Amino acid sequence: MSTPCLTIKNMTMAYGDFVIQRDLDFTINSGDVFIIMGGSGCGKSTLLMHLIGLQHPVKGQVFYGSESLWEADINVRQRILKRTGVLFQSGALLSSMTLAENIALPLSQHTKLSAMRIREIVSYKLALVGLAGFEDYYPAEISGGMQKRAGLARAMALDPEILYFDEPSAGLDPISAKLLDDLIRSLRDNLGSTIVMVTHELASIFAIGTNSVFLDADTKTMIAGGPPKQLLAESTDPKVVRFLTRGVMEKHHLHTTNSQEHSEL
Amino acid sequence: MLTNHVPCEIKIVHIDTMLELILVGDWVLDADTPSLDPLLAQMIKGSTIKRLVFSTEALGHWDSLLMTDLIRVIDHGARQGIEVDTTSLPEGIQGLLSLVYAVPERLDAKRQDIKRSWLEVIGHFVISAVTEANLLLIFVGETVLSVGALLRGKARFRTVDLWINIQDCGPSAVPIITLISFLIGLILAFVGALELALFGAQIYIADMVGLGMTREMGGFMAAIIMSGRTGAAFAAQLGTMQVNSEIDALKTMGFKPMEFLVLPRMLALILIMPMLCLYADLMGIIGGSLVTVGFFDVSFLEYFDRTSGAIHLKDLMVGVTKCSVFGVLIALSGCLRGMQCGRSASAVGKAATSAVVTCIVFIVIADSTMTLICNRLGI
């Protein structure tokens, strides 16, 4: 599968006069697990905001299929965005609602399903993320990892074609993070969704990433792209290499330690 | 999104002791799905049916809708002791099903509504009222201790916080205080004037407005405004800090939240409220004078002469003292509700609401008590 699902063309992002990233050009294919990576403050989350329609690019385009997100009128944009689901960094569950109400919210607003059917779908989504039976809990009553999985259940409520994740494994222990990675991968495999993920968790990047873009804060643009493993093996850019190896490997002994480091990951 | 769906339907085929369920069409969220009841009715313990298999050759697109139906069938089969063979389903569906059944449902997690008898409800109410009163006393106690620390020069807070709070509660509140107390003076004058004019005693409007504003209304209205404006803000600020664990962070750095957060707010209000009170008095008197001069044939000079004769220093002192007490109460209840705030967005809203309610209740109680005392003592 390599039909383009999302195309970013010549995009510049800025807050007022302060340019975050410029000249971004990349394509996300259907079925990819696409990683947006880069050091802190390079604009990863800002890029995500532009993709999910929360921030307007200063220049350039975001195409969903063949439709431009920002040139479309508001109704078309709403329709495009309805095909996406977002898991925010801290889950962003509405704290005054139970988990069931959180997940039922988009279903009851955007579909004509009966209350009974919505209840079934809510239970199914919660079971999918391993939270069966937690319908009547409030977000504050469950742990951070559970909140994140509940957030994932809500993001999937409308069976989106594209799922966005902002730092999914931030704040999770390594085992929970791995379980979340496995969950994301099996959801991708079984639902055929496209996954776009902002992360700097190396383990996740190599475990599930199939394509990526590397943003650099100094030059304010993307300096690399491609499957993460291939980047690690082939990239000669010192910044990319340092990032992907946690700065352990300097360029001059790249070739001697490459295979060893790779197998550890 | 597909616009033309193949309508979905099911066909049930009997093969000896086996049922074959044939799924046809697109099972996507907007589709009308066929009822499963005929199928479930056949899958009953003790019937000849022992096994259910699926046939999905004609199945088109599918999503959560199909999944929930399948889960219903599988759960029903498990309850009735009928084997449901899922191996012929598409791989994606099998994968999702294995995810769904990977973690068993936490039955103890389910909540049940417990019906309480009225006696129990009253009991809970009393207990929570006592706990509430206890918390309030503890908070007051801690405040007194931190004021003690302040007097001994040991309280730790940033002076700049005090100035920021003074700016927030004082100068920024002047416009709304001006508006409201001006109107109150205006209204007082009108209400009294209609009666007094009957006896040709318009000049006494000055007495009424002057005494009414200084002893009672000026301070009271300023306090009500400040409880809505500042008490709620205190509760929301501290509540949000609670949500973000900022208060925990202060504690670990060795600051006492009572000193670091509550003291500057309380000091600011205690310092500012008397001034706001005097300002409100003045605005009220000006408001009253406009009505009296404009409609009831009294000159400005007469009005202000009469006013200065009617108001004594002790009247001003009574009003200002009351208002200082209100300041303490507003800061206390605003900070109390903020510090008690839960850790969610809705808890912050509740904290702000209950701060305003608490403020107003306290102010009314304190005002009546102090007025009664003044009356008895003849002040």
Summarize pLDDT for A82-140 with one digit per residue, the tens: 888 999 888 888 888 899 999 998 888 888 888 888 999 999 999 888 888 888 888 88
CA B241 to chain centroid:
15
Q: What is the mean pLDDT of residues B108-113?
A: 66
Average pLDDT along chain B: 88
> Do A29 and A211 touch, CB atoms closer than 8 A?
yes
Other beta carbons less than 10 A from residue B301's beta carbon: 9
CB within 8 Å of B69: residues ≥ 6 apart: B27, B33, B36
As a whole number of angstroms, the distance between CA B245 and CA A208 comes to 33
Assess whether pLDDT exceeds 90 at residue A45.
Answer: no
- Answer yes or no: do A138 and B344 touch at CB < 8 A: yes
Confidence of residue B264 (pLDDT cuts 50, 70, 90): very high
The residue with tokens 């993460």 is A228
- pLDDT score for B4: 67
Q: Could you tell me whether strands A67-68 and A59-64 are parallel, antiparallel, or unpaired per DSSP bridges? A: antiparallel
Tokens of A161: 């074609």
Tokens of A237: 């850019």
CB contact at 8 A, A96 and B72: no
Residue of A nearest to B2 (CA): A83
Amino acid at A4: P
A117 reaches B (C-beta below 8 A): yes
| pLDDT tens digits for range B322-331 | 999 999 999 9
pLDDT of B111: 64
- Cα–Cα distance measured from residue B313 to residue B300, given in angstroms and rounded to the nearest whole number: 22
Mean pLDDT of the region A59-71: 87
Query: Nearest Cα to A190, choosing from B300, B62, B152?
Result: B62
Rounded to an integer, the average pLDDT of A9-24 is 88
- Chain mean position to CA B168: 21
Q: Which amino acid is located at B159 in the chain?
A: T
Quick one: average pLDDT of B240-268? 89
- Whole-number Å distance between alpha carbons of B145 and B266: 14
Nearest to A157 by CA among A49, A84, A74: A84
> What DSSP string describes A59-120?
EEEEEETTEETTTS-HHHHHHHHHTEEEE-TT----TTS-HHHHHHHHHHHH----HHHHHH
Q: Among residues of chain B, what percentage have pLDDT more than 70?
A: 97
CB contact under 8 A, A120 and B72: yes
CA distances from B141 to A151, B78, B127, B153, B238 (A): 42, 61, 21, 18, 19
Proportion of chain B above pLDDT 90, given as a percent: 53
Q: What is the DSSP string of B246-300?
A: HHHHHHHTT--HIIIIIHHHHHHHHHHHHHHHHHHHHHHHHHHHHHHHHHS---H
Yes or no, beta carbons of B67 and A124 under 8 Å apart: yes
Crossing angle for the helix pair A144-155 and A174-191, nearest 10 degrees?
A: 10
Cα–Cα distance between A49 and A29 in angstroms, integer?
19
CB-CB under 8 Å, A133 with B346: no
Q: What is the pLDDT of residue A81?
A: 86
Q: pLDDT value at position B307?
A: 92
Nearest to B111 among A123, A136, A158 (CB): A136
Alpha-carbon gap, residue A90 to A144, rounded angstroms: 8
Q: Which amino acid is at A50?
A: H
Question: Residue B110's pLDDT band (boundaries 50, 70, 90)?
Answer: low
Strands B9-15 and B18-27: antiparallel
Neighbours of B155 (CB within 10 A): 19
Please give the backbone phi and psi of residue B7, each rounded to the nearest 5 degrees, phi first. -60, 145
pTM of the model: 0.73
All CATH 3.30.750.24 domain ranges of chain B, comma separated, are 9-105
Per-residue tokens: B32: 């009308």
Q: Is B29 close to A140, i.e. CB distance below 8 A?
A: no
Q: Output the pLDDT for position A2.
A: 66
Kindly state the DSSP code that residue B171 receives in the 8-state scheme.
G
Sheet holding A211-216, edge to edge: A84-87, A162-166, A194-198, A33-38, A211-216, A221-225
Complex confidence, ipTM: 0.73
Cβ–Cβ of A190/B342 closer than 8 Å?
no
Size of interface A-B (CB pairs under 8 A): 86
Torsion of CA A222, A224, A225, A226, to 10 degrees: -170
| Nearest-10 Cα torsion for B44, B48, B52, B57 | -120
Residue B270: which of B345, B169, B349 has the closest Cα?
A: B169
Find out whether B230 and B271 touch, Cβ atoms under 8 Å: no
- Nearest CA to B243 out of B128, B93, B321, B345 is that of B345
User: Both tokens of residue B379?
Assistant: 């002040």
Q: What's the rounded mean pLDDT across residues B224-244?
A: 93
Read off the pLDDT of residues B6-59 as tens digits, 9 standing for 90 and up: 788 888 888 888 888 888 888 877 777 788 888 888 888 777 788 888 888 888
- Residues B213-235 have a mean pLDDT of 94
Model confidence at B65: pLDDT above 60: yes
Task: Give yes or no for residue A265 having a pLDDT over 60.
Answer: no
Residue B378, number of CB atoms within 10 A of its CB: 5
Q: Chain B interface, mutation test: which of A76, A90, A116, A128, most B Cβ atoms within 10 Å?
A: A128
Instruction: Supply the CATH classification number for the domain B9-105.
Output: 3.30.750.24
Distance CA B293, CA B309 (A): 18
